[in-house]
Structure 1
Amino acid sequence: MRNKANTVLSWMTATCLAAQAGMSVGGAWAGSEIEARQRAERPIEWRAPQQEDKTVAVTLLAINDFHSQITAGLEVAGRPVGSAPVLAAYLKAAQARARGQTFILHAGDHVGASQPRSALLQDEPGIMVFNMLGNQHCRPGGLYGVECNLIGIPGNHELDEGMGEMLRLIHGGNHRQGPYLQDPYQGAHFPYICANLVRTATNKPLFPPSVVRMVDGVPIGFVGALLRHATTFLPPDSLDGLQVLDEAEAINAQVAALRAEGVHAVVAVIHQGGYQLPANGSEHPSTRLAGDLAAIVGRLDGEVDVVLAGHTHTVHNLLVDNAAGRKTLVTQAWPKGTGYAEIDLEISRTGREVVALSSRIVTTWADQGPGLRPDVRVARLADRVDAMGNAVAAQVIANAAKPITRVSNEAGESALGDLVADAQRQAMGTDFAFMHPEGIEADIDPGHITKGDYYTVQPANLNLVKLEMTGEQIYALLNQQWTTASGEGRFLQVSGLSYVWDAHRPAGRRVVSVMKDGEPLRRGARYTVTVNEYLAAGGGNFTVLTEAANPVVGPFIADALHQYVRTRPQPINAAIEGRISRLN
């Protein structure tokens, strides 16, 4: 179990902790984020020692972790970046300047953990946007032709609501609460591929493991894979009926099959990432890849020329040795539509191998270049998403008898904090729950509570995580609320326990007593606790949570609040319950 805990917490530390702190998640790309993005646009190049006279040109345009970021709103250092219309404009401009045939790919998490307006429409807009990038050979109902220029793979977030909803999003059909923007909803106009996601009963892949595309008579193969430890990032029942196999083994098996068919140019699309390490403190990224993806690439068949990665929201653009000691290009672009990887390949007509490549990571600035001319069709869709999303957000789910606010008493407790913590504890079925107050970003007004209110109160796309902790660790966690001797604390909102703290005690020893069900907390006993993934990664200096055991990922924080509030007696009359008491 410790290996599993390290896996989930190492990823969370790199993504959630940095994101919540307002930092760029770019691994080795040091300096300001604008400088990092400028450096990422510098191409890396490789060419085989023996020159080939006759080659075909192929351009790959890859995005990852789009998370249905349909409408505008993201910024980098005050500059607007991304949105579906802007991304589409950049990709179409790149297609227009490409020397040869172009393929557009996404490396998973295209939907899920999404903008509220898209999430309220079951993320159908995310698929619809990608469809709009397709050529005339990309068609709904599984009728896309072999010349379709789009390819996707599943990420862990595609499985947030289980296999059934993922397949509905891909294959089409109205949601039980739909229809939304299409009636009937058409699903994906392009193939999803994945070699290592198999049905448990048959051990057969849920999707085609690979596809082959012909470029002027020369084949190029694409193989998909999902991170093996997807269960670490999903609720327990999300993979019911499915099994995720080892990434490298599944990819290599497909590469062998493709080789037997005469395919020697291979692109692996993997929803897994790593970290591009800096070279001895240099501002420039090194050629060294660390993390889970590094181990996978090091085991890949020498026939794999390119790995398109995702998941960690960390930028890669480097050459890495595969199992045969040959160089494999590994890329991962900026997430949420704020960038894409642009890769130019030259494939030998005789050997059918990649003999040259060039790669860069492009930022989709909305205030320059193609960003000044957002794609008109996609912009129309974004307007429809806003309009219908607003209508769905206005649906009333519950009622509040009086304001439920974040205003805390002298001890550090608030009525809304109590409500949120109770919702999270119920969602995960644990002994206790802890919520950082900064993650509660708006009050609940008296009167109607709408679907949209949940995303306003808790807009961060954070999953809940169930952990196991000792009573001693819980005491340590509560004492980490004070990091200085000044007396200023960052008070976790709690559920399932009460405690007393003394302002005259030194920081680190202020908690006097902790009670559960009227009895003192036993320091040697083990308890289950619910936190969100930011806290689980040690966010807010609550580092003792990184020592907890047996993490199990649950629903998003806003979803937990939604489900809890709608089941409460109406109207809701929440108040501070006296869970936190202060002495002196």
Structure 2
Amino acid sequence: MTATAPGHRPAAAVFMALAAMLSGCAAPMEGARVAASPPAPAPVEVAVLAFNDFHGNLEPPRQAVAATDGQGGTVQVPAGGAAWLASALEGLRARHPHSLTVSAGDLTSASPLASSLFLDEPTVEAMNRLGLDFNAVGNHEFDRGQHELLRLQRGGCEKLTLREPCQLERFAGARFRYLAASTRDASGVPLFPASAIRTFGEGAQVVRIGVIGLTLSGTPLLVTPSGIAGLTFAEEAETINAEVPRLKAQGADAIVVLIHEGGRTTGAPDPNGCNGLAGAILPIMARLAPGVDVVVSGHTHADYICEVPSADPARSVLLTSAGQYGKELTEITLSIDPAAHRVIARRARNHIVQSVPFASARGPVAASPLFPQYAPRADIAAYVQRYVDAAKVFAMRPVGKLSGPAGRGEGAASNTGGPLGNLISDAQLAATRGAGAQIAFMNPFGIRAPIVPALDGTVTFGDIYLAQPFGSALVTETMIGSDIKAVLEQGFDDVGPEQALAPSAGLVYRFDRSRPVGQRIVSITLGGKPLDPAARYRVTMNGFLALGGDGFSVFTGAREAVIGLTDIEALESYFRSAARLDVPQEERVSASAARE
């Protein structure tokens, strides 16, 4: 028998003891291993609440949203107004612990009197109060020039336009962030930040939304050149694709693009439909690289919810638009996997911001029980009313009388001037006879609202300002007949939305869409006689058109140009020229059924 040292055990005994210890620890160690690998975090939902083309419509704009009634018909729903939009936003935010509020451009300018008289300062402050986070810069944001736009972001009372800033209160500037990825100064630096990131959630459920904002590359065609001197507007898809990897490198789990460009649908009105989508947004979407989840669009004032192919044939991108003037609000819900850092589900819906009934050019528009009716948020309603009251001295001043309502055309006819386009062009012709004018043209997209007189026919300055809020100077120039035909052809050249210029009394033209581009105007008469291609004519248009606005570049070849009154002055003067004006009812522009 071998002796052992005190305090030591034989090797076999030690081995058995160790085995027993390990056996006893096996189950607890397995349990510890499971606890160290918690289940994957649940998806995080973030709502993106979006609108576009608000255009300073602080009050309900006296316009409706056309929607399906569920029985194959259409219903007109009165909608809009900042206080009602605020309530709609609050209702949607209550459904979502995490949300982001965004706008796809043209938040300001081309605005009603209560905003534009005060350089749209009250619109910016109303947006501060209702909780806007980001706004992509639209083309109309440049209407008063880039320096005034910068003031809207930064605040202050520096006078940069003809109007006085800070008339009712010191202007503190936007608390939301303007984004302008494609708008660059001479050194190539964006005028505003290209993008931003917003973080939601805590711990393992933190997610980040990257937001890119930009305007359309065609902005130089749509604004006064002096207002954008030194700026360039880069191609949209290329700009977006360059920004996506930067945001991904900063940890963005989802990417939302706010772009002031859009499309239009066809068929019966459907705020949530996507029937026959066409327009300048589609070539941009087709070039988008992987990484973009949602595109919030604008500019065309249309409403739609679409899934659109991108550069990756296996992947579509959600595309939305919420009409115009705050009449609709898009609720976009993103379900994000915080571990995989990607969007795993998404959905969107346009909600009508139903507000108050009104009288339209076609009769009364009543509240609809088919859609929620919002109450105005009291604090914003009171704030807006302060500016409405201050503008009343201008808005309520009578300018004349009108035989009945005058509108530009609605739905499929919105690209024609209609009776109001005829009335405006007649007013501009009358105002420029002293410059030799024989013809005047009005661009229908420059008509912002119908003129609806009071029961006794009275029309106020506020009424005509709603229709023509730009204050654009009239230009009368010499054009030969062939150039007049060429400029009318540009309204049907398949570049941008179709737009039939509204002519003054005496000029009538017909078009045929089945003909090739450049040959679609089939007849033009002036005073009942064919327009002479070689003859010289004096033609009036607003300054926007004279600079080639809306793509009518033929107007830029001005000869013997004379600058006159502003468009609003001309319209007021025309109303004052008669005890009562009759709404022009004759058809001056029409489609030809057969080739001539």
Shorter-chain TM range is: 0.5 to 0.7
Distance 1:426 1:180, change over 3 A: farther
Supply the distance in 2 between the matched residues of 1:202 and 1:476 (Cα, whole angstroms).
37
Residue 89 (structure 2) aligns with? 91
Deviation at 1:530, TM superposition (A): 3.7
Residue 188 (structure 2) aligns with? 203
Q: Which amino acid aligns with 1:185?
A: F
1:351-430 aligned at under 5 Å gives the runs 351-366=340-355, 367=367, 371-393=373-395, 420-421=428-429, 423=431
Q: Which amino acid aligns with 2:566?
A: A
Supply the distance in 2 between the matched residues of 1:559 and 1:130 (Cα, whole angstroms).
34
Deviation at 1:264, TM superposition (A): 3.7
Residue 267 (structure 1) aligns with? 256
Q: Which amino acid aligns with 1:433?
A: A
Supply the distance in 1 between the matched residues of 2:49 and 2:396 (Cα, whole angstroms).
37
Which residue, out of 227, 231, 238, partners 1:238? 227
Q: Secondary structure at the match of 2:94?
A: helix
Q: Which amino acid aligns with 1:127?
A: V
Conserved in 1, the CA contact under 8 Å of 2:428 and 2:474? no
Q: Which amino acid aligns with 2:302?
A: T
Supply the distance in 1 between the matched residues of 2:481 and 2:526 (Cα, whole angstroms).
16
Q: Secondary structure at the match of 1:103?
A: strand
Deviation at 1:67, TM superposition (A): 0.9
Supply the distance in 1 between the matched residues of 2:260 and 2:329 (Cα, whole angstroms).
15
- TM-score when scaled to structure 1? 0.65
Distance 1:244 1:457, change over 3 A: closer
Task: Determine if the alignment matches structure 1 residue 456 to structure 2 residue 464.
Answer: yes
Residue 433 (structure 1) aligns with? 440
Supply the distance in 1 between the matched residues of 2:485 and 2:320 (Cα, whole angstroms).
43
Residue 302 (structure 1) aligns with? 290
Deviation at 1:291, TM superposition (A): 1.3
Q: Deviations over 1:81-132 (max 9, x none)?
A: 111111110011100111x311000110111111122211211121111101
Distance 1:241 1:404, change over 3 A: farther
Residue 131 (structure 1) aligns with? 128
Q: Secondary structure at the match of 2:134?
A: strand
Q: Secondary structure at the match of 2:385?
A: helix
Which residue, out of 173, 182, 188, partners 2:174? 188
Deviation at 1:186, TM superposition (A): 1.1
Unaligned runs of 5+ in 2: 1-39, 66-74, 356-366, 405-421, 454-458, 489-500, 509-522, 580-596
Supply the distance in 2 between the matched residues of 1:336 and 1:318 (Cα, whole angstroms).
21
Residue 198 (structure 2) aligns with? 213
1:494-509 aligned at under 5 Å gives the runs none
Supply the distance in 2 between the matched residues of 1:292 and 1:74 (Cα, whole angstroms).
26
1:106-125 aligned at under 5 Å gives the runs 106-125=103-122
Task: Determine if the alignment matches structure 1 residue 151 to structure 2 residue 129.
Answer: no
Distance 1:526 1:75, change over 3 A: same
Supply the distance in 1 between the matched residues of 2:577 and 2:136 (Cα, whole angstroms).
45
Residue 483 (structure 1) aligns with? none
Distance 1:116 1:266, change over 3 A: same
Distance 1:87 1:271, change over 3 A: same
Supply the distance in 2 between the matched residues of 1:548 and 1:310 (Cα, whole angstroms).
21
Residue 140 (structure 1) aligns with? none
Which residue, out of 163, 166, 169, partners 2:152? 169
Q: Secondary structure at the match of 2:110?
A: coil
Q: Secondary structure at the match of 2:323?
A: coil
- TM-score when scaled to structure 2? 0.63
Q: Secondary structure at the match of 1:80?
A: strand
Supply the distance in 1 between the matched residues of 2:243 and 2:327 (Cα, whole angstroms).
32
Deviation at 1:204, TM superposition (A): 0.5
Residue 342 (structure 1) aligns with? 331
Conserved in 2, the CA contact under 8 Å of 1:406 and 1:417? no
Deviation at 1:192, TM superposition (A): 0.9
Deviation at 1:347, TM superposition (A): 0.9
Conserved in 1, the CA contact under 8 Å of 2:272 and 2:304? no
Distance 1:273 1:523, change over 3 A: same
Deviation at 1:328, TM superposition (A): 0.8
Q: Which has the higher contact order (CA 8 A, sep 6+)?
A: 1
Which residue, out of 520, 530, 534, partners 1:524? 534
Distance 1:310 1:430, change over 3 A: farther
Q: Which amino acid aligns with 2:89?
A: L
Conserved in 2, the CA contact under 8 Å of 1:331 and 1:341? yes
Distance 1:264 1:476, change over 3 A: closer
Deviation at 1:238, TM superposition (A): 2.3
- Structure exhibiting the larger radius of gyration computed from Cα positions: 2
Supply the distance in 2 between the matched residues of 1:549 and 1:316 (Cα, whole angstroms).
30
Conserved in 1, the CA contact under 8 Å of 2:473 and 2:567? no
Distance 1:306 1:185, change over 3 A: same
Supply the distance in 1 between the matched residues of 2:423 and 2:336 (Cα, whole angstroms).
63
| 253-262 vs 461-470, greater mean Cα deviation | 461-470
Distance 1:158 1:301, change over 3 A: same
Deviation at 1:315, TM superposition (A): 1.4
In the alignment of these two chains, the number of paired residues is: 448
Which residue, out of 160, 168, 187, partners 2:143? 160
Supply the distance in 2 between the matched residues of 1:547 and 1:242 (Cα, whole angstroms).
19
Conserved in 2, the CA contact under 8 Å of 1:153 and 1:269? yes
Task: Determine if the alignment matches structure 1 residue 69 to structure 2 residue 76.
Answer: no
1:10-25 aligned at under 5 Å gives the runs none
Q: CA RMSD in A?
A: 4.9
Distance 1:357 1:240, change over 3 A: same
Q: Deviations over 1:169-215 (max 9, x none)?
A: 2221226444556531111011111110011x211101010001111
Deviation at 1:262, TM superposition (A): 3.0
